[in-house]
């Protein structure tokens, strides 16, 4: 996955051997750059993508599952 020209994550998708057998893969991303960026997901190979989502690390979530509030230091 890229944000502009910057590679932020990369992962291999293993072959499952059957088009109806699925697997889940994940990848850690590089720390986010400041500002807003378009993300580009590039797929190579012979596979089907059923879904794609972003999740926050556990330490980035408040107790209710919402993103933790940002401090003034984070906003700089």
DSSP codes joined into one string, 16-70: -SSTT---------PPPPSS---EE----SS-----------GGGB-TTSSBPPP
pLDDT for res 76 = 45
Tell me the pLDDT tens digit for each residue of 42-57: 888 877 888 888 877 7
Residue 76 domain-assigned (yes or no): no
Closest CA to 2 of 34, 37, 51: 37
pLDDT at residue 75, as a whole number: 46
66 assigned to some structural domain: no
62 occurs within a structural domain: no
> Where in the sequence is the domain holding 20, given as residue range(s)?
1-55
Residue 61 is predicted with a pLDDT of 55
Q: What is the pTM of this model?
A: 0.51
For residues 10 and 2, give the distance between their C-alpha atoms in angstroms, rounded to a whole number: 9
């Amino acid at each position: 996955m890229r944000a502009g020209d910057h590679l932020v994550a990369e992962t291999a998708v293993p072959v499952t051997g059957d088009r109806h057998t699925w697997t889940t893969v994940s990848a850690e991303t590089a720390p986010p750059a400041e500002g807003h960026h378009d993300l580009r997901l590039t797929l190579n190979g012979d596979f089907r993508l059923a879904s794609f989502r972003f999740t926050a690390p556990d330490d980035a979530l408040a107790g209710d599952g919402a993103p933790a509030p940002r401090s003034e230091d984070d906003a700089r």
